[in-house]
Amino acid sequence: MLFGFWISMDFPDISEFEVLTLIKTYGGHVRKHFRRRRLLIVDTDLSPEIIRHIIMRSATVREGFKIYEYRINATYKEVVTQELESDIYNSNKLGIKVLLDKPREYLGWDTADVSREIAGYVLKDYPGDVDLRSPDKRFVFIFVEDLVASALELVGKHSKGFRDRLPSKRPVFSPFSLHPKLARIMVNLSGALEGETILDPFSGVGGISVEASLMGINSICIEIMYKWALGCWENAKWIDPAYVYTDVICGDSLRGMIKNTKYVVTDPPYGRITSIGGYTHSKSLIEHFLEYLSTLESLVRTVFMVPIDFKLDMDKYGLVEINRFEIPVHSGLTRVLRVVERK
């Protein structure tokens, strides 16, 4: 079945990898996929119900659809299928929506005018009610560059709540804490399911564990500085008052405190330490971190950040990098999000 994902353009390559990872996390097979700007189309064997769950869990998918048909260099009339017509005529109350990703040749289009034209064509014999605000079903026509698609909306535009969980909005603030959107991306790229556990060996005030908790994923947070470990505990209680999903340990994670873990998701303190736990610079800490990973026999996947100028020999630690993404922070710093697995 074909599904469409309307993704954020903040990190489009990461967004695509996040969706594909989540499909595999929930046992789906990706038969084919491709992306036109913010529209990602995936052919997979998952059900629409699981795809809805993936859309809501994702950090980067803004809307999602079941795709009836898509074509290149076609008109909207050419993507009106028998299945689409049948679904329309079997709906009691429906809406029609147009999504336009502002390709150059369509800049003069008025979305409302296009919607009315399409509605006049596909609803000419429709006997039911049209309700644009709260329909039982919403049918979507998507125009991106040279592609046109018809679709059934599975999840409409919605908020992920990231602004409410910005580092400055939490009980304990740290200027080094990840943006919640990026923290959620990293958790999703780990491949952890609800009920499983991730390890964050450099948790700081717990930005990663906050997002994991909201997805029903447990986290073990280790922080060497007592001030930040206490902050991690307080932030965990803020998002999870029953304190179900998070354990916080104050200590040195690289001394072998945790051995049985499948997923590691962390943002090490590169570029912001002078001496922590005997590590005099961040490169030394990262190297010890990779040595620690090499000892974890149960390890499946690790997602972590490093500065772009850190040259790391993954093979030395029995690891293989399956993907990497450069994330500019400012003119003096570009981070690399790295996804690695055991060989």
Give tens-digit pLDDT for 133-144: 889 999 999 999
Pair (171, 297) in one structural domain: yes
Which of 131, 155, 179 delimits the end of a domain?
155
User: What local confidence, expressed as pLDDT, does residue 281 receive?
Assistant: 61
* C-alpha–C-alpha distance, residues 99 and 302, integer Å: 36
Pair (243, 261) in one structural domain: yes
- Sheet containing 147-155: give its strands across: 30-36, 39-44, 2-7, 61-72, 147-155, 137-144, 93-100, 129-130
Which of 155, 184, 201 delimits the end of a domain?
155
Pair (149, 287) in one structural domain: no
Pair (47, 187) in one structural domain: no
**Could you read off the pLDDT of 229-246 as tens digits, one per residue?**
999 999 999 999 999 999
Pair (187, 324) in one structural domain: yes
Q: What CATH number does the domain containing 212 carry?
A: 3.40.50.150
Q: Is 294 exposed, middle or buried (0-12, 13-18, 19+ CB in 10 A)?
A: middle
**Could you read off the pLDDT of 293-326 as tens digits, one per residue?**
999 999 999 999 998 888 889 999 999 999 999 9
Domain count, the chain: 2
* C-alpha–C-alpha distance, residues 5 and 66, integer Å: 9
Residue 204 Rama label (left phi>0; alpha psi -120 to 50; beta): left
Per the CB < 8 A criterion, the answer to whether 148 and 77 are in contact is no
Pair (205, 150) in one structural domain: no
Which residues does 181 contact at the CB level (< 8 Å), separation at least 6? 10, 59, 60, 160, 162
Residue 311: other Cβ atoms inside 10 A: 7
Which of 155, 185, 209 delimits the end of a domain?
155
Q: Is 146 in a helix, a strand, or coil?
A: coil
* C-alpha–C-alpha distance, residues 49 and 225, integer Å: 43
Pair (14, 134) in one structural domain: yes
Region of poorest pLDDT, from 17-21, 133-137, 335-339 = 133-137
Region of poorest pLDDT, from 35-44, 155-164, 210-219, 247-256 = 247-256
User: What local confidence, expressed as pLDDT, does residue 223 receive?
Assistant: 94
User: What local confidence, expressed as pLDDT, does residue 258 receive?
Assistant: 82
Angle at CA of residue 151, ends 22 and 215, nearest 5°: 25
Token pair 């028998």: residue: 82
User: Looking at per-residue confidence, does 222 or 132 come out higher?
Assistant: 222
| pLDDT band (50, 70, 90) for residue 176 | confident
**Could you read off the pLDDT of 57-87 as tens digits, one per residue?**
999 999 999 999 999 999 999 999 999 999 9
Return the structure tokens found at 272.
Answer: 């912001």
Pair (7, 103) in one structural domain: yes
Pair (25, 137) in one structural domain: yes
| pLDDT band (50, 70, 90) for residue 274 | very low
Pair (238, 326) in one structural domain: yes
Region of poorest pLDDT, from 4-8, 95-99, 135-139, 332-336 = 332-336
User: What local confidence, expressed as pLDDT, does residue 202 receive?
Assistant: 94
User: What local confidence, expressed as pLDDT, does residue 276 receive?
Assistant: 57
User: What local confidence, expressed as pLDDT, does residue 270 receive?
Assistant: 72
Q: What CATH number does the domain containing 124 carry?
A: 3.30.2130.30
Per the CB < 8 A criterion, the answer to whether 160 and 68 are in contact is no
pLDDT over threshold 80, residue 53: yes
User: What local confidence, expressed as pLDDT, does residue 247 receive?
Assistant: 96
| pLDDT band (50, 70, 90) for residue 132 | confident
In this prediction, residues 193-206 reach a mean pLDDT of 96
pLDDT over threshold 60, residue 273: no
Residue 263 backbone phi and psi in degrees, to 5: -130, 130
Q: Is 5 in a helix, a strand, or coil?
A: strand
Task: Supply the range of the domain harboring residue 220.
Answer: 162-342
Pair (220, 319) in one structural domain: yes
Angle at CA of residue 214, ends 300 and 265, nearest 5°: 30
Return the structure tokens found at 202.
Answer: 């450099």
Task: Give the mean pLDDT of the chain.
Answer: 91
Token pair 């200027």: residue: 175
Which residue stretches of 77-220 are H helix? 82-89, 111-122, 180-190, 207-214
Pair (201, 134) in one structural domain: no
